[in-house]
A and B are shown apart, each in its own frame.
Chain A
Amino acid sequence: METLTYLIYLLSAVLFILGLKQLSSPKTARRGNMLAMLGMLLAIAMTLLDKQILDYTYIIIGLVVGSGIGLIAARVVQMTAMPQMVALFNGFGGGASTLVAYSEYLSRLQDPALGFELNVTITIVLSVLIGTVTFTGSLIAFAKLQGLMKGAPIVFPGQQFLNAVLIVAVIVLGVMLAMDPSLEMFLLVILILSAIIGVTSVIPIGGADMPVVISLLNSYSGLAAAMTGFVISNNVLIVSGALVGASGLILTNIMCKAMNRSLFSVLFGAVGTDDSTGTGGEEQRTVTRYTAEDAVVMFGNAQSIIIIPGYGLAVAQAQHVLQEMAEILRKQGKTVRYAIHPVAGRMPGHMNVLLAEANVDYDLLYEMDDINDDFQDTDIAFIVGANDVVNPAARYKKNSPLYGMPILNADQAKTVMIVKRSLGAGFAGEANELFFDEKTMMLFGDAKKMITDIVRVLKES
């Protein structure tokens, strides 16, 4: 029986890997997710047959309550709210890891026959530490993204010193617990300190840096699961946790590169600003205001158009009307494509999901590296709700925070249209030269209203 259990767990791990592998293409991705689901179902079913389980009352209650909440949350969440949803799910995963490790500690404490090998105590401490940091950190990230808390960094004097002290305290307590596992209070104190670390390490991170934080917490939740796997000597937890840990690290790295930040500066820099755009100083230079009618005239003469969406598009809820505009232009025989910067949303790949929801064919969504060389042969670059990701200062202005950040070469298009509320600077606080370029047409106003106007004029003409 035990052999069968472990073989089924192995099968689950294989299904997880195959499932992730199928995510390499949108054609197979849905099936991949199903495979992973099947793997999870097998693991759960096999566990329910385990001889250690004597009473199913709590299990049934837990499964029913958890499934109900999960089902409702997955159904009702808006695509724009996906980052906070994922943060919340992450947090629950981390919390579960902590609780399993803690419960294992308590039952070993009661049953002297089980005993504490050194490696068990160490992984219990690690599991509680990482799991709890993931839990409270994710709750803070959720609160910031959901607007329950201000997005701006919260800093206080001695914050980093406090974090360092807390981490050292956890290590010291952990070592003492490893030497004498019967010190029951110590694990509780470790849990409380870890909870504080989760809070104090996420509150100084600004709203714009959230993609990095969510990716990192994703990685942590995997590591916490893997540590729990060591605690209860279960390899399927270790394999799955390692996969997720690796995935989160890769995404964290991609986000850092795309935002031109090191992980260190995101975690300790506290330079990110609030979510609200356009807070930067208004420049005293003048630009010509263009109208929807002007834009339509330009579209009339254009053959190729690249749309650059930014998060401002989603804030204005203008995805659907943008898709309508793109479709009209495509029916007129023009080439219309979308260029997606890696940080064009609030989490990795977020903009793609938002546009997919608006019925944009995924073949029209181009990654930065695949489309950047095409801008020079493009008639119009149409920028909506994006700023820093098209700021040419990233190429030449050495003292700018943007310097070195990979950007979309919108400035190389023959005409640049920018739909924007104001001339304000982006998150990085760097004024955008592109606004004042003579080939740039500024279309001031709310994205949804402006694009709706353009669609109206296009239909009339």
Chain B
Amino acid sequence: MGEVLVSLYVFVLAIFVGFEVITKVPPLLHTPLMSGSNAISGITIVGSLIAAGAEHSGLSTWLGLVAVIFATINVVGGFLVTDRMLEMFKKKDKDGE
């Protein structure tokens, strides 16, 4: 049980870190925050890759393949769309006027 308890510690502490960090994000950026954190939750791709690559049985590998596709859509789409939005948040150069 030792390892599980350590993981539980990590989980609880990470939630507190999350609260601290996220409360500092201004409402201005809440949509990019959401799509960006969404991409981060695609970290299950790590588990998907192992499931798709380990030769266990037909079914669990197939599930792994679908998991890789889902997680990759989540990761790639999430980060790119966040970048696209953040690029639009610019300060206009007012010297030119």
Contact = CB atoms under 8 A, between A and B. Distances in A.
Interface of A: 9, 12-13, 16-17, 19-21, 23-26, 29-30, 32-34, 36-37, 39-40, 43-44, 47-48, 50, 52-56, 58-59, 61-63, 65-67, 69-71, 73-75, 77, 79, 82, 85-86, 89-90, 92-93, 95-97, 99-100, 102-104, 106-107, 110-111, 117, 119, 214-215, 218, 221-222, 224-226, 228-248, 250-251, 254, 331, 340, 342, 345, 347-350, 352-353, 356-357, 359, 361-363, 365, 367
B35 to A, nearest CB: 5
A107 B56 contact: yes
A21 B24 contact: yes
Contact of B53 (A9, A52, A67, A73): A52
Nearest to B46: A47
Interface in B24-68: 24-57, 59-61, 63-68
Nearest to A353: B31
Interface string B60-82: 11011111111111111111111
A86 to B, nearest CB: 5
B26 A367 contact: yes
Given A20-B25, A353-B85, A230 B7 contact: yes
A89 B83 contact: no
Contacts, number: 392
B95 interface: no
Given A43-B46, A56-B53, A215-B34, A243 B40 contact: yes
A103 B7 CA distance: 21
Contact of A242 (B18, B55, B67, B83): B18
Interface of B: 1, 3-4, 7, 10-12, 14-19, 21-57, 59-61, 63-92, 97
**Interface of B: prevailing SS:** helix
Nearest to B51: A103
A230 B68 CA distance: 19
Given A93-B41, A96-B74, A99-B48, A62 B79 contact: no
A106 B57 contact: yes
B8 to A, nearest CB: 8
A219 B56 CA distance: 32
Contacts of B87: 30
Contacts of B66: 62, 95, 99
Contact of A23 (B29, B54, B56): B29
**Interface of A: prevailing SS:** helix
A32 B36 CA distance: 10
Contact of A33 (B12, B32, B48, B50): B32
Nearest to B53: A53
4 smallest CB-CB distances across A and B, nearest first, come from A66-B72, A62-B68, A246-B18, A349-B30
Given A36-B40, A37-B79, A238 B18 contact: no
B82 to A, nearest CB: 5
A89 to B, nearest CB: 5
B11 A226 contact: yes
B70 A92 contact: yes
Nearest to A43: B46
B53 to A, nearest CB: 3
Nearest to A369: B27
A110 B56 contact: yes
Contacts of A240: 40-41, 43
Contact of A102 (B23, B54, B63): B63
A19 B48 CA distance: 23
B1 A218 contact: no
A75 B85 CA distance: 11
A357 B61 CA distance: 42
B74 A92 contact: yes
A123 to B, nearest CB: 9
Contacts of B21: 17, 20-21, 24, 243
A362 B42 contact: no
B63 A54 contact: no
A356 B88 contact: yes
Given A66-B73, A106-B63, A348-B31, A24 B26 contact: yes
Given A23-B33, A40-B43, A67-B72, A246 B19 contact: yes
B65 to A, nearest CB: 4
Contacts of A77: 81
A36 B81 CA distance: 13
A408 B21 CA distance: 27
